[in-house]
Chain A
Amino acid sequence: MSEFTSVTEALLALDADKLLGEVDKYLADGANADAILNDGLIAGMDIVGDRMQEGDMFIPEVLMAAQIMGKAVEKLKPLLADDAGSSAGKVLIGTVKGDLHDIGKNLVSMMLESAGFEIKDIGVDVEPATFISEIKAFQPDVLALSALLTTTMPMMKSTIEALADAGVRDSLKVIVGGAPVSDNFAREIGADGYAPDAGSASKLAKTLLSN
């Protein structure tokens, strides 16, 4: 852990008062806000993601951690360096056409955001054409597709094919997830990766972008 261990620990303990107190203390000591964010808070959320993946932390705890982190980020915001380039990368996320499920997608968005990604969530029931126009406008590094139904899984494949037809497939990594989706399926449809839960999703996005 970093010099901001106490920040990370307060976040993992889901103790908002302690966390805000620690952040204040570091700021008063002249610490850099970006360092507190990256090495204290985001590092903490990475651990939350690991624990979620291992079944040691559960969704309500992850949500609470994200909420508490949000309070600390509010405090840091006016002090953060003003360059969007410091984000871990840009992620466009949505649930494919014909599918209205949003809970899993929202969790993944939240974990990716907490991990330092810039997120654009374009909602549910998203047409392939909409993904394409959003990709052109937002220029994401990663496209995350969600499908919760066996009947809408084939739409993931159609979406990826549409990206290729539109010439934008190679500009980004595509990751997929949702209850019926598997690693095999992800490979079959030509996605770059599959994540079984929100914790793994942020790790997967980071791994894909570091390669």
Chain B
Amino acid sequence: MIIIGELINASRKAIGAAIKEKDEQAVRKVAADQAENGASFIDVNAGIFVDDEPDYLTWLVKNVQAVTDVPCAIDSPNPKAIEAALAVHKGAAPMINSISLEKDRWENLLPIVAGTDLKVVALCMSDDGMPQTVDDRMKIADKLVNGLLQKDVKLENIFIDPLVQPLSVNKEFGMQFLDTIEQITTQFAGIHTACGLSNISYGLPARKFINRAFMTIAIAKGLDGAIMNPMDKGMIAAITLGEALAGKDDFCMKYLKAFRAGLFE
């Protein structure tokens, strides 16, 4: 599982305050904690500061990179903010989170990723509104993938996010997502998928149980990327189980290692 650590997001109170006060230590600690707990990318989001987003995003990237070699996932639809953040980013190629088929977003972000080694999350959303069915999602995914390939983005650098919608408003929404994951991983061998899956449990109680079970099933269908809190032990346990049950854990080594580390106590 490729974990994109989601905690450095300005819409979270503590982070929003840390950014405003330029509290380097606070941001650095959250970055280091996520990297130590298995994040492959550290998401940075300064979206609530509209006018100052380029400055704040740059500041976040610098502080994350002061404590870890794990690359950033630059979380913004604003090309100016992304370019500013990329200009200071060092080391392994960062991720852009995210492009979509919405016209403005597509046109603004495509030139940034074209012909580069940047990883890119591509969200199954278009100007026609939220996709409802597997077909809706696959049509958008197909355009996203082909559009990106044409601009020399490598298939293995694309992370398709089929968009999770809440089970509480439509009982089919879980399967729509899961079946899309399966079709994407079959149709585009070598591509990645990623999502923030907690939206599945919106409007229902005891959300963490739904989120974990959904993760386990999604892994069986081929999901290999997650935008999540890497310190969420229950979710890490669900991932470990999912990978073992889906035949992605040789000799159940990761499962056993996690067991010995006390993950299932």
Q: Which of A60, A100, A125, A151 contacts B168, CB < 8 Å? A: A60
Q: Which of A16-24, A31-39, A101-109, A163-171 contacts B (4 or more CB under 8 A)?
A: A101-109
Query: B127-160 interface mask toward A, CB cutoff 8 Å, 1 = contact, 0 = none?
Result: 1011000000000000000000000000000000
Assuming the A-B contacts A150-B11, A150-B47, are A63 and B102 also in contact, with contact meaning beta carbons closer than 8 angstroms in the complex? no
Task: Look across to chain A and name the residue whose beta carbon is closest to the beta carbon of B47.
Answer: A150
Docked Cα-Cα span, A59 to B204, in Å, equals 7
Find the residue from A63, A102, A107, A151 having the highest chain B CB count within 10 A. Answer: A151
**Does A154 belong to the interface (CB within 8 Å)?**
yes
Q: Are B77 and A180 in contact, CB atoms less than 8 angstroms apart?
A: no
Q: A59-B166, A180-B11 are in contact. Are A101 and B77 (CB under 8 A)?
A: no
Q: Given A59-B169, A60-B168, A107-B169, A100–B130 Cβ distance below 8 Å?
A: yes
Instruction: Compute how far the CA of A102 lies from the CA of B205 in the bound complex, rounded to whole angstroms.
Output: 21
> Do the beta carbons of A58 and B168 come within 8 Å of each other?
yes
Q: Which residues of chain B (10-50) have a CB below 8 Å from chain A?
A: 10-11, 47-48, 50
A103–B166 contact, CB under 8 A?
yes
User: Is residue B203 contacting chain A, with contact meaning CB distance below 8 A?
Assistant: yes
Q: Are A58 and B204 closer than 8 Å at their CB atoms?
A: yes
Partner of A59, one of B11, B48, B203: B203
Question: Quick check: A100 and B129 within 8 Å, CB to CB?
Answer: yes
Q: Which residues of A contact B77 (CB under 8 A)?
A: 151
Q: Which of A60, A101, A149 contacts B130 (CB 8 A)?
A: A101
Of B127, B202, B204, the contact of A125 (CB 8 Å cutoff): B127
Chain B residues whose C-beta falls within 8 Å of the C-beta of A100 in the assembled complex: 102, 125, 127, 129-130
Pick the residue among A60, A102, A149, A150 that contacts B203 (CB under 8 A): A60
Taking the complex as formed, is B165 at the interface, i.e. its CB lies under 8 A from any CB of chain A?
yes
Q: Give the residues in chain A near B125, CB-CB below 8 Å.
A: 100
A100, B124: Cα distance in complex, Å = 12
Minimal beta-carbon separation of B100 from chain A (angstroms): 10
Closest 5 CB pairs of A and B: A59-B203, A59-B168, A150-B47, A150-B48, A100-B129
New contact pairs (16) apart from A59-B166, A101-B130, CB-CB < 8 Å: A58-B168, A58-B204, A59-B202, A59-B204, A60-B203, A100-B125, A100-B129, A102-B129, A103-B130, A106-B169, A107-B169, A125-B127, A151-B47, A151-B78, A180-B11, A180-B48
B contact residues vs A (CB 8 Å cutoff): 10-11, 47-48, 50, 77-78, 102, 125, 127, 129-130, 165-166, 168-169, 202-205
